[in-house]
Amino acid sequence: MMKMKKWGRGLLGVGVFIVSQVAPSAVQAGDDFLLPAYTPGDVFLVVNARTNPEQEFVRDYWKEVFDAVHESGISEDIMGLLNSFGAADPDHAAKIEEFHQMGLKMFEAVEWSKLAEKEFLYAMRMPKLEVEGNSMHTGGPESIWIFRGTEASSPQNFTGLANMAGMLLEHIGQFAGAEFKLNLTDENGIHRAEVRFEENGFGWGLQQKGDIIVMTLGDSIADEVAALLLGKGSAKSIAANARYRDAFAALPKAEDETFFFDMQRMLGDIREITNKVFASMGVDQKIINGQTSEGKTGTGSNPEALKIAQEAYEAYQAKDVAKALELINQALAKDNTDSVILYNAACFNALQGNKEKAFSFLDKAVEAGFYEPTSIKADADLKSLHGDPRFGAAINEASEPVLGPAPMRLVRRIMNSMSMIDYVAVSAYTDGFTTMADSHCVLTSHAKSQAIYKVFGDRKPLSDFAKFLPQETQSFSVSGGIDIVALYDFVHDSISDWGADGVSILGQWDGIQAQVGFSLRDDILSWIQGDGIQATINMESGTASVMMIRVSDDEKAAKMVGSGIDAVAELVQGLAAQNPMMSMMAIRTSPATNEKLAGFKNVFIGMTPKPAIVGVKDGYIFLSESEEAVLLCLETAAGEHPNVTKNEQVMSEALAPSGSFRAVTFEDLRGLGQQISEVLQVVQMVGGMAGMAVPPQYQPVLGTALSITGKLIRPAGMITFFKSSAGLTTFDGTKWVTKQKVNYFSPLEREASTN
C-alpha cells in the first residue's frame, strides 16, 4: 500500500501561489547567478532568474496592464461573487470579510518587491521511498524556493512570511481537525521556521541568512540547504555539478534566466522507487536488474522427437500444413514437454482452424518454457487467435518469467522511451528590445535504440522554408513534425505491454478494422508524412489562414479526403433523420470556383455562408477558408509569385534558417491585445444572451463573472507592446538546438504607433 503524506501538498499550493506573486517582478540589476551554490546537487529541475536592467521597459509595460486591472474594480466583483455563494447564511458575509482582512494583513506583512530583489531560484528533486514490511511511505517531490533580497529587507520579510505561515497553519488545522505547530529556531546565524506534518517526515519550512530566504517542502532538503548556506558538510551543490556547468558552457551566457532539466537524474530516482515497489511485489531481483531476456527453455532433450519436428517444419515450409500437423503430433507422442514442439503444434492447429487445440498447445508451450512474447505477438500463424482474451493471457504468461508483470513492463517501456533524452538546458538573455532564449535538448548515446526515437529522430531535415509562403504572409509555422506511423506502432506495442488486457484490446481493434475493411495504419497514416505548414496571409480581401499537411501519394490522399468528407456528410444526414436539429449541421460540397484549383472542394457546414476549401496538390493536403489564399501558396511554390523572403518586416524579425532545419515559426503579435479584447467581448455577449436560460439562483454568479469579463477588456487592449515572436529548431542527430525570440516595440515606437 502506497501512503502519501497529504498535508504537505496543501502548503505546496500555497508556496506556488506565493512564488507566482513574486517571480514576475523579481530581481534587480546585477551580478551573476549565485543561488545554485545553495541548491543540493541531486535536484533534477532548476529554474534560476534575475532581472536584467535592459528589461526595465518590459516591466514598465506590464505594470501599466496590471495597474489597469487593479483600477478596474474586479476585486470588488470577486468579493461580491464570494458573498453570493453563501447568501442563505447570515454570517457568510462576515466570514468572507474576515478572510479578506486576514489575507490583506498577511500580504501587507511582506515587502514583496524586495523579496527577490537580486535573484530567484526554484528547484525540485524526487522523493525517497521508505519500505517498512508491507507498507511503503513517500512524500511528494521535494522543492525549494530561494529568494535573494538585501541584508536590510530579508530579516523583515522572513518574519512576515513566518507570521503568514503561522496564520495559514492555524486555519488549515481548524479545517483538518489537527494541530500544526510552527517551530522557530535560530542557530549558526540561520533563522528557521518549520512545521512537520508527520514526525521526522514531510515538512515545510523557511530559512533566512543574510540576504537569502529559502522556502522548502520535503523530508530532508531543508537541512541540506542549511548546510550549503553555512558551507558545512559533504553535500555538493548543483553549481558544482559538472553536467550542470557543461550544459550552460555550451550555450550563450545567460543574463535573464536559466532552465535545467536533468532527465537522467529524474529517471534514476524513479527507477530506484519503482524497483523497490516491484521487489515488494515479489518480482525476481534478476528481472528487476534486467538480467533476464526473452528465450526458450525446456527444448532439445529428445533427439527422435526433434527429428520428426524438423520434418514437420519442412512440410510447413512446403505449404503442406495438414502433413505438418500430422508429423508434429507424432513428435508430441515422443515428447509432449518440449516447448518448441508444443509451440509449433499451436501454430499448425491455428492455421487449420483448430482454435481450441491451438490455445491448449500455446498454453502448454509457455508453461514448458517458451518465453518469447515478442515472437508470439508477431507470429502470423497465430493471427486467428488475436482478439481472444486467452491470447493476451498467454502472452502475459510468456512475459512474466523474463520481463516481469504487466505493470512493470509498461512502466519500463515508458521510462526507457523517456531515457532517450539526457538533459534540457535553456539560457535567456536580452538584446536591445528583443528577449532571446537558446535551448539544447541533448540525447543519450543509446537514444537510437529506443523505439520512440523513430517517432522524432528519424525525420528528414527540411529546407526551403519559404517555398509555399507568399510575400503577404503575416505569420507562419513550418515543421518537420513526427513519423505518424512510428507513433502508431509505438502506442500499439505499448498497449500490448499492458498485458492480457492490452493484447485483448488490440485484438478487438484489429477485429473492428477487419469487419469494416479498413486499416487506420495502412489506409490513412501510411500516406501522411507528418510535415506541416501553417500560414496567415494578408490579402486585399482580408486575412486568411492556410493549413498544409504533406502526403506521399496525392491521388490516394485526394481519394481518402473525399471519402472522409462524404462519410461525415452521410453520418450527419443519418443523425438528422433521427433528430431534426442535426439538419442545421448538414454538410454539402461544391467544386472550387477557380479553375486552377481543379479537384478542390468547397465544404459548407450548416448555414455558414463561408465554406472551407479542401484539396490535394503538390504533395500537400490544403485546408483554408479562402481559395485566393490557397492559390497564392501554390503560385508561390511554382515561382509565379514572390515568397515571404521579400517581406522586409517579417524577415527583419524572424529567425530564417540558412540551411536544413526541423522547425521554423513566426507570429505577428501586433494585434494581440485587440484579439484578446475581442474574445472577451464575445464571451460577454454570448454570456449575456445565455443568461436568460440560467436558473435564477445562478444568475448573480453569471452577472458578476460577466462584469469581471467586461472590466478586463480595457486592460487587455493595453497589451500593445509586442511586435512578434520567432523560433528556429535544428537537429544534428545528437541534440535539438532551438533559438527563440520575442520582439517588442521600444517605448518611442510604441508611443508613435498609438498616436
The three-class DSSP label of residue 158 is helix
Name, in order, each residue with C-beta under 8 angstroms of 488's C-beta and a sequence gap of 6 or more. Answer: 520, 521, 525
558 vs 57: CA distance, rounded Å = 51
d(CA 249, CA 258): 12
Average pLDDT estimate for 738-753: 93
Question: Could you give the 3-state DSSP secondary structure of residue 617?
Answer: strand
Confidence (pLDDT) at 95: 67
Greatest Cα pair distance in the chain: 98
Whether the per-residue pLDDT at 737 is higher than 70: the answer is yes
Strands (E), 165-222: 183-187, 190-196, 203-209, 212-218
CB 707 within 8 A of CB 688: no
Average pLDDT over residues 141-165: 93
> Could you tell me the three cell numbers for 719?
497589451
Q: How high is the pLDDT of residue 568? A: 87
What pLDDT score was predicted for residue 4?
Answer: 30
Assess contact for 348 and 321: CB atoms under 8 A: yes
3-state secondary structure of 231: coil
* Mean of the per-residue pLDDT values of the chain: 87
For residue 209, the SS3 value is strand
Q: Looking at the chain, how many residues does it have?
A: 755
DSSP letter string, 48-87: EE---GGGHHHHHHHHHHHHHHHHTTHHHHHHHHHHHTTT
Whether 711 and 73 have beta carbons less than 8 Å apart is answered as yes
DSSP 145: E
Highest mean pLDDT among 150-164, 191-205, 645-659: 645-659
Residue 413 has pLDDT above 80, yes or no: yes
Helix intervals (H) in 72-148: 74-84, 92-108, 112-115
User: What percent of the chain is predicted at pLDDT more than 90?
Assistant: 60
Cα 246 to chain centroid distance, Å, stands at 26
Distance CA 447, CA 677 (A): 46
If we measure between CA atoms, which residue out of 563, 622, 554 comes closest to residue 594? Answer: 622
Under the banding of pLDDT at 50, 70 and 90, the label for residue 493 is: confident
Q: What is the pLDDT of residue 8?
A: 33
pLDDT at 537 over 90: yes
Angle value at C-alpha 332, between 329 and 337, nearest 5 degrees: 150
- 739 versus 24: which is more confidently predicted? 739
- Mean pLDDT comparison of 33-47, 201-215, 277-291, 378-392, highest-scoring range: 33-47
* Inter-helix orientation angle 339-351/355-368, to 10°: 160
**Average pLDDT, stretch 449-476?**
94
pLDDT at 496 over 90: no
Alpha carbon 280 to chain centroid, angstroms: 31
**Confidence check: pLDDT of 698 > 70:** yes
**Residue 38 phi, psi (nearest 5):** -110, 15
Q: Please list the residues that pair with 148 across neighbouring strands.
A: 119, 212
Point out the least confidently predicted range of 136-140, 335-339, 608-612, 720-724. Answer: 136-140
pLDDT band at 133 (very low <50, low <70, confident <90, very high): low
Of 175-179, 442-446, 463-467, 573-577, minimum mean pLDDT range: 175-179
pLDDT of residue 474: 97
pLDDT for 26 equals 37
Q: Which residues, in sequence order, are bridge partners of residue 218?
A: 203
Contact 82, 147 (CB under 8 A): no
Percent of the chain whose pLDDT exceeds 70 = 90
* Lowest-pLDDT choice from 155-159, 476-480, 571-575: 571-575
pTM: 0.85
Distance CA 394, CA 343 (A): 12
| Residue 85 pLDDT > 70 | no
Which position has the grid cell 494581440? 672
Task: Yes or no: say if 5 and 198 are a contact pair by the CB < 8 Å rule.
Answer: yes
pLDDT score recorded for residue 652: 97
Q: Which of 152-156, 459-463, 505-509 has the lowest mean pLDDT?
A: 505-509
pLDDT tens-digit readout, 541-582: 899 999 999 999 999 999 999 988 888 888 888 887 888 777
Per-residue confidence (pLDDT) for residue 627, from 0 to 100: 95
Quick one: pLDDT band at residue 198, thresholds 50, 70, 90? low
Angle at 146 between CA 157 and CA 208, to 5 degrees: 45
Confidence at residue 9, expressed as pLDDT on a 0 to 100 scale: 31
Model confidence at 138, pLDDT cuts 50, 70, 90, reads: low
Check pLDDT > 50 for residue 590: yes
Mean pLDDT in residue range 290-316: 92
Please tell me the predicted confidence (pLDDT) of residue 25. 39
